Homo-oligomer: A and B are copies of this chain.
Amino acid sequence: MNKIRPYRQIIECLRGAGLRPTRQRMALAKMLFEGEGRHVTAEVLHNESISNGVSVSLATVYNTLNQFTAAGLLREIVVDGERSYFDTTTTDHHHFFHTNTGELEDIMADDVIMQNLPVPPMGTKITSVNVIVRVSPA
């Protein structure tokens, strides 16, 4: 339903974060944002990039993912200590984690989960709330 994020917007956002729209960044951005709700690891994105004939080093993929995250284009999701996932959906939502395949899947915001937030400890404020629902084959 949603339109894919237009290039212009990506370039804007990169510029806003002080990042030049280089060939590699634009190529990675294209792969990331042409679809919707992608959940990628650095390795997956690197492989995809190579497959598409775009030569990028793994280090650059890591750097780029971190820069995109800092710029607000991506959100980092921690599910297991093994690897970092980056989610192209940056609005509030939660995840199913398929423990057998290692895949992440969005939980639609409509499947309301959070009813009342807990009171944060004295002297602290809530930064974010993360819900991971682990699922396995029935």
Contact = CB atoms under 8 A, between A and B. Distances in A.
Q: How many copies does the complex hold?
A: 2
A22 interface: no
Contact of A130 (B108, B119, B132): B132
Interface in A8-66: none
B112 A133 contact: no
Contact of A125 (B120, B131, B138): B138
A3 B123 CA distance: 30
Interface residues of A, number: 40
Nearest to A124: B135
A117 B136 contact: no
Given A78-B81, A81-B78, A81-B81, A113 B111 contact: no
A89 interface: no
A2 interface: no
B127 A134 contact: yes
A126 interface: yes
Interface in A55-114: 78-81, 83-84, 94, 96, 98-99, 105, 107-108, 111-114
Given A96-B124, A112-B116, A114-B115, 17 more contacts: A81-B84, A98-B124, A113-B116, A113-B117, A113-B118, A115-B115, A117-B133, A120-B133, A121-B135, A124-B135, A124-B136, A124-B137, A124-B138, A125-B137, A129-B132, A129-B134, A131-B131
